[in-house]
Structure 1
Amino acid sequence: MVMSFCTGVGASTAHTWTTLSGSGADDVRVMTRKSMDDPGRPPGIVLSAATSFWLPVPPKRVFDFLRDENSRSEWDILSNGGLVQEMAHIANGRDPGNSVSLLRVNSANSSQSNMLILQESCTDSTGSYVIYAPVDIVAMNGLKWGGGIPEVGSGGSLLTVAFQILVDSVPTAKLSLGSVATVNSLIKCTVERIKVTKPETKNE
C-alpha cells in the first residue's frame, strides 16, 4: 500500500502527471494520470491532490495524533465523526508508531456503517508517514492478522497531506471539473480540521 501510494504521487517516466489549471488554490497541487495495465491498481483516471504546510507542533506529537484512532474522527472525513476502533494491529519495529492496523469506522451514516480502513504508519529520524485507504470487508476477512528510533525535535512540523482517488473507471474518459473541485475541497477540509484540532493538546 505504501509503495503504491508513493509511486502514485511521484512523477516518473512510467507515470507521467499533468498539472491541472484552475484547481482553486495556489497551495494545492492537483494532478491526473491514466491507470492502464498497472498491477494491483484498477484501470481508470486517477486524481491526486497534495499540499504542505507548517505546524508549530513537534513532529512526534503530530505523528501520534494522526495515527491514533481515538482522535481520528476529529480530522478524517472518512470517519464522518463516527467511533473508530482498532480491530487488528501488527507491530513493524521497536517504535510503537511503526505498525499496520485495521480500523473499523462505526459511523452514524448508514451508508458508511462498519467501513474498514487499512493503515500503515512509520516514523524514524528522517520523517514519518501515515498512509491509509478504505478496504473491502470481504477482502479483509480472507487475511490472517496477528496480534525504530523515536523522532526528535520541538520547533514544528512540515506536514504534507495527499489524496489519491480513482475518479473514473474508464482510462479514456474525460476528466470533469467537478471531480477536481471535489478532491480539492476534500484536501482543504482535511488540512483545516488538522489545524483546528491543535495536535499539541493531544497525548499529554
Structure 2
Amino acid sequence: MMFPSPLVPARKCTFLRYCNVLNEGLVVVIDVSLDDGSIFSKCRKMPSGFLIQSIRPNSCKVTAIEHVLVDDTGVHELYQPCMNGLVFGARRWVATMARQSARMRDVHHNKTAPQVSTKGRKNLMKLADDLLASFAGGITATGGGTWTVVIGAGTEKDIRVAYRRTTEGSSSYNAILSVSASLRLPLPMRKTFDLLRNLTHRCKWDVLVHGSVVKEEVTIARGVGNDDTVTVLHCKRAGREDRGRTMILQNNGYDASGSFMVYSQIDSELMNTMVLSPSDLPPGRGGPSLYPTGFSLLPDVEAAQDSSGIALGEVGGTLMTMGFQIPVKLASGDRMYSRSAASAIRLMTDTIALVKKTLMNEHSGIYGGEKGGPCADKNQEHAKGIHRLRSPCISQNLLN
C-alpha cells in the first residue's frame, strides 16, 4: 500500500481475503494478515474489509473498515499528523473505489468521448491507471522493478533520486530515473489543485509545455465530479505545423485523503495508431513507454486542526509531493553517472521554484495578494478546521 511521498514508507503485508454473498444484494469482503507484521515494514492487517450492499439497480452502498497494527516511526514529521485515518484509512479506500467505478461506467457505457472507440477508451484508462501506479512506485521506491535509492531523503532541501534497470523504450537507455521531493505550501489543497490544473498557467511552470498553448483534446472518463478525469491534452507552439504537436495523457483526481495530477507526454502518432484506433495495432507490439510526471497533494492537517464546519482541504496549507521519471543510461557495473543525478536534482529544484512562484503569484492575483486581502479574514476565521477522520469506518454510495 503506497502513498506517493518519499517521506511515507510503503506498507507491506501478506493477507488472506475471504469473500461471501450473505444474501441477495449483500456481499462481505474480509481481509486479515497471515503474518505477525514483523517482516514487512512492521504492518499487520487485523480483520478489515468491505460490506457492499445493493440499494438500487444502478448503485450500491459500501462500508469500509481498515484496522491495522503498524509502526509508523519511519514516517517524516511532516506527515505524522495525517497518519491517523487519512493517508491509509478507510476513506481512501472508498474514494478510490468510487472514482474507479464511475470511470468504468464512463468507459463502458457513457459516450464521454464519442470520437474514441470503447476499446480505445479502455486502453487509455489502462494507461492512465498504470501511469498513476508507476508514479507512486517510483516515488516510494517500491512497486514494479527493483528501485535503488541513490541519494536524498525526499525533502525540498534533500531531493531523493532513485533508479531501476529496464528493458523498455529505446535501446540507448537501460534505466529509469525517479526524482521526488515533498514540501509544505501555504495554500489550501483545493486552491493548489485548481491552480495546477489550470491550463492557462501551465506554460509558466511545466517544462513539457513551455511556450506552448495547451488545450484539452478529449476527456476519456470522469470519476466523482469534474475533478476526477482522464484527459488527453494537446500542446502546440505558435507558428508550428500540426505534425509538431505534443500530446499529453493526464490522470487527476481530488479527495481530501489524497489528490493527484499525474501526466506523461505521449507521441501523437502512437496515440492515433495504438490507442484511438486500436484495431490498427500491429500484432505483438506492446504499449508505449510512459514516464510519469506529477503531483500528490494532501491537506496540512496541523494547519487546519481547529476548524469547524469547513471541508478538509478548503483551508490551511498543502503537503505537496512533486516527482518525475526519465530514461537514463547507467555506467558500467549498473552504477549511475553522478552527472545524471546532479542534473535531475537541478531540474527538480528549478521546477519546485517555478511551481511555488506561479501558484503563489496566481493566488495573490486572485485574492489581492495582501495579508488583509478579501480572503484573509475568511481564512483566519476558518483557520481551525478538520473533518474528524478518527473513526476507521466510512460509508459512501457508489455508482456502478
Summarize the alignment of residues 126-145 of structure 1 with structure 2, pairs less than 5 Å apart.
126-142=257-273, 143-144=275-276
Query: Does the Cα contact within 8 Å between 1:35 and 1:46 map onto a contact in 2?
Result: yes
Cα offset, 1:200, TM superposition:
2.3
TM-score in terms of structure 1 length: 0.81
1:85 corresponds, among 190, 215, 219, to 215
Secondary structure of 1:121 counterpart: strand
Higher relative contact order, structure no. (Cα contacts within 8 Å, ≥ 6 residues apart): 1
Cα offset, 1:21, TM superposition:
4.2
Distance 1:196 1:174, change over 3 A: same
Cα offset, 1:18, TM superposition:
2.4
Secondary structure of 2:141 counterpart: coil
Distance 1:85 1:183, change over 3 A: same
Secondary structure of 1:15 counterpart: coil
TM-score in terms of structure 2 length: 0.44
Return the alpha-carbon distance in structure 2 between the equivalents of residues 186 and 45 of structure 1.
18
* 2:139 aligned with 1:9: yes
Distance 1:165 1:97, change over 3 A: same
Q: Which residue of 2 aligns with 1:58?
A: 188
State which structure, 1 or 2, has the greater radius of gyration over its C-alpha atoms: 2
Secondary structure of 1:92 counterpart: strand
Q: For residues 101-145 of structure 1, what are the alpha-carbon distances to aligned partners after superposition, in whole Å with 9 as ceiling and x for unaligned? A: 1111113596x9411111110111202110011101111113339
Counterpart of 2:236, as a letter, is N
Distance 1:203 1:132, change over 3 A: farther
Cα offset, 1:5, TM superposition:
2.2
Query: Which moves more between the two structures, 1-10 or 58-67?
Result: 1-10
Cα offset, 1:55, TM superposition:
0.8
Query: Does the Cα contact within 8 Å between 2:152 and 2:160 map onto a contact in 1?
Result: no
Return the alpha-carbon distance in structure 2 between the equivalents of residues 14 and 98 of structure 1.
25
Q: Which residue of 1 aligns with 2:357?
A: 196
Return the alpha-carbon distance in structure 2 between the equivalents of residues 169 and 20 of structure 1.
12
1:159 corresponds, among 310, 320, 343, to 320
Overall identity of the aligned pairs, in %: 30
Return the alpha-carbon distance in structure 1 between the equivalents of residues 157 and 178 of structure 2.
15
Distance 1:116 1:183, change over 3 A: same
Return the alpha-carbon distance in structure 1 between the equivalents of residues 330 and 269 of structure 2.
21
Superposed CA RMSD in Å reads 3.2
Secondary structure of 1:78 counterpart: coil
2:346 corresponds, among 162, 185, 194, to 185
Query: Does the Cα contact within 8 Å between 2:180 and 2:323 map onto a contact in 1?
Result: yes
Distance 1:84 1:14, change over 3 A: closer
Secondary structure of 2:227 counterpart: coil
Query: Does the Cα contact within 8 Å between 1:65 and 1:202 map onto a contact in 2?
Result: no
Return the alpha-carbon distance in structure 2 between the equivalents of residues 176 and 16 of structure 1.
18
Query: Does the Cα contact within 8 Å between 1:73 and 1:81 map onto a contact in 2?
Result: yes
Distance 1:22 1:178, change over 3 A: farther
Q: Which residue of 2 aligns with 1:107?
A: 237
Q: For residues 143-173 of structure 1, what are the alpha-carbon distances to aligned partners after superposition, in whole Å with 9 as ceiling and x for unaligned? A: 339xxxx863310101100011111399976
Return the alpha-carbon distance in structure 1 between the equivalents of residues 327 and 212 of structure 2.
24
Cα offset, 1:97, TM superposition:
1.3
Return the alpha-carbon distance in structure 1 between the equivalents of residues 161 and 272 of structure 2.
34
Return the alpha-carbon distance in structure 2 between the equivalents of residues 169 and 113 of structure 1.
30
Return the alpha-carbon distance in structure 1 between the equivalents of residues 331 and 238 of structure 2.
32
Return the alpha-carbon distance in structure 1 between the equivalents of residues 335 and 363 of structure 2.
43
Return the alpha-carbon distance in structure 1 between the equivalents of residues 162 and 330 of structure 2.
17
Return the alpha-carbon distance in structure 2 between the equivalents of residues 86 and 192 of structure 1.
26
Summarize the alignment of residues 30-49 of structure 1 with structure 2, pairs less than 5 Å apart.
30-36=161-167, 41-42=168-169, 44-49=174-179
Q: Which residue of 1 aligns with 2:398?
A: none
Return the alpha-carbon distance in structure 1 between the equivalents of residues 164 and 253 of structure 2.
27
Query: Does the Cα contact within 8 Å between 2:330 and 2:336 map onto a contact in 1?
Result: no
Q: Which residue of 2 aligns with 1:98?
A: 228
Cα offset, 1:28, TM superposition:
0.6
Unaligned regions of 5+ residues in structure 2, if any?
Answer: 1-130, 278-310, 368-400
Counterpart of 1:61, as a letter, is K
